[in-house]
Amino acid sequence: MAAPVLEVTNLTVAIAGGGDRANAIENVSLTVMPGEIVCVVGESGSGKSVTSQAVMALLPKGQLRISGGSIKLEGDELTTKSQPAMRAVRGKRAAMVFQEPMTALNPVERCGDQIAEVLEIHTDLDAKARRARVLDVMRSVHLPDPEQMAEAYPHQLSGGQRQRVMIAMALVLDPALLIADEPTTALDVTTQAQILKLIREMQVRRNTGVLFITHDFGVVSEIADRVVVMQRGRIVEQGTKAEILAAPREAYTQMLIAAVPSLVPPVRVPITSQVTLETIKLNKTYGGRSFFKPSGRVVKAATDVSFQIRRGETLGIVGESGSGKSTVARCIARLVDPTSGRIDLDDVDIARMSERKLRPYRRRVQIVFQDPYRSLNPRRSVGQSIIEGPMNFGLPHGEAIERARNLMGLVGLSPDALDRFPHQFSGGQRQRIAIARALAMEPVLLIGDEPVSALDVSVQAQVLQLLDSVRKKFDLAVLFITHDLRVAAQICDRIAVMQRGVVVETGPTANVFANPQHDYTRALFSAAPGQGFGHRIGAGKIDLVPAV
């Protein structure tokens, strides 16, 4: 058996000044063999990123420091190395790919020059040889037209291309170890599939050991050879992919895996109640000419979007970033004014209503936003946030408080927490509060704009469950915007697939998943990572038990 590329033994990283725990990671031991992809999975705060930063000696100074254990790269101890000595290791023997390629690349330097910089620092190659190597590596990561791409600035490339440049930069010196820290999290699912394929290909061709950090079990099942599960700074369980995914031993791992929604939609009875919301040829364009901008470019964010949502029904809009799904949601909530078309809410067109006329209809459409950390005013207590809406519509303070207390119970929080401020709650709890705030308005239509995308998978399952139970309880029409096909499969009665502002396909969830008609839908579905994984736990769909 070959010697491991990376051998981490009993690694402990202490938090200076102490946070909610003394050590960011404790007694972490793992190995990466040549040509092996080891996935480190865990929820936020599990210490998976700290592990990778420790290996690269990139821990934030003064906050985290290695207090015990060893890190061996090809048998060479790293923990005792000075920063100058580590500089010779970084890039040359171990390289890293980050989550957000836009911020990881220098925005004012040409991509080719950024890759060449690595060679300039670590090799004696002359400019011509460097140029040749750069083009070579760019070709190997399948960047189209490398000569031109090398001259481009990062903002001129797409997200996927930028990540390819990052990977090219990491691989140009043929490092023994590649650390990829959530490299596809910021990317669309079709792009993600390509990048995963690329990492796989690179690793096979160059026999690189890869330490792959991710929170997504779909990705794990797609790419991993071995899996390390982390929770609160400790390794819960590690083993081969088959062992972990098919037969997890630890309760935590079982819970994590069970919380991953399946790609197979459950059988649902078609809903035939009355139509709550109907959009007819809804259009939204941005830009265009104005007095101060004589030459504006017109962007069509939504084109002729038409759909219906019935009472008690969940319609999902799925699509990649820039597909216009959020624009549609925001038009319906009248946060932006649609350019043309109708939005019929219980047969009243609200698309072009003036703010004054719209006021009584505002309460009937409520929205839950993606980012739980920004959707509540940090300066106002949770109670104040919840009662604000009802009091805007004339409910006396006492009754509003009473309603808020009931709703807090309904969303699974203590009614006594109304006096607390948002920063005292976790992300999932804040999302519950946001749901309570929406429900306080007694809406007929609830819009969820990626309401679970920022949450960890176990919390995500709980919030989805809550959303589904309030839909049933209040007979709400729900418009659910998501990029996550697994979530869509589980929660939506019908789905509409959007691409570049156009609804390309719509139908009952089961039909669309089983038999996608449009090319784009098929591409989208086939790109979803971990297809097999999803099917395998198909029986273990989210248990949608009412929360109250």
Q: Which residues bind other proteins (CB under 8 A)?
A: 290-292, 333-335, 359, 362-363, 365-367, 369-371, 374-381, 385, 388-389, 392-393, 411-414, 417, 420-421, 423-426, 428-429, 432, 434, 437, 440-441, 461-462, 465, 542-543, 545, 547-548
Smallest distance from other proteins to CB 295, Å: 16
List b or e across 442-452, with b for residues whose CB sees 16 or more CB atoms inside 10 angstroms: ebbbbbbbbbb
**Looking at beta carbons only, is 283 or 458 nearer to other proteins?**
458
**Looking at beta carbons only, is 204 or 335 nearer to other proteins?**
335
Residues in the chain: 548
User: What's the rounded Cα separation, in Å, for the pair 546 and 471?
Assistant: 10
**Looking at beta carbons only, is 206 or 363 nearer to other proteins?**
363
> Which amino acid, 163?
Q
**Looking at beta carbons only, is 277 or 367 nearer to other proteins?**
367
Smallest distance from other proteins to CB 361, Å: 9
Smallest distance from other proteins to CB 166, Å: 27
Structure tokens, 392:
């805007």
Q: Would you put residue 207 in left (φ > 0), alpha (ψ -120 to 50) or beta?
A: left
User: What's the rounded Cα separation, in Å, for the pair 402 and 492?
Assistant: 32
Q: What angle in degrees, to the nearest 10, is found between the helix axes of 111-122 and 127-140?
A: 120
Smallest distance from other proteins to CB 330, Å: 8
Catalogue the E-assigned strands of 182-273: 209-214, 226-231, 234-240
CA atoms within 13 A on the CB side of 204: 9
**Looking at beta carbons only, is 214 or 327 nearer to other proteins?**
327
**Looking at beta carbons only, is 142 or 364 nearer to other proteins?**
364
Measuring CA to CA, which residue among 374, 488, 359 is closest to residue 431?
374
Measuring CA to CA, which residue among 498, 487, 489, 495 is closest to residue 520?
498
Smallest distance from other proteins to CB 424, Å: 4
Measuring CA to CA, which residue among 307, 218, 261 is closest to residue 467?
261
**Looking at beta carbons only, is 158 or 414 nearer to other proteins?**
414
Smallest distance from other proteins to CB 74, Å: 42
3-class SS at 487? helix
Smallest distance from other proteins to CB 438, Å: 8
**Looking at beta carbons only, is 111 or 436 nearer to other proteins?**
436
**Looking at beta carbons only, is 305 or 446 nearer to other proteins?**
446
Smallest distance from other proteins to CB 320, Å: 21
User: What's the rounded Cα separation, in Å, for the pair 199 and 202?
Assistant: 5
> Which amino acid, 408?
M
Contact 143, 165 (CB under 8 A): yes
User: What's the rounded Cα separation, in Å, for the pair 314 and 324?
Assistant: 19
Smallest distance from other proteins to CB 483, Å: 17
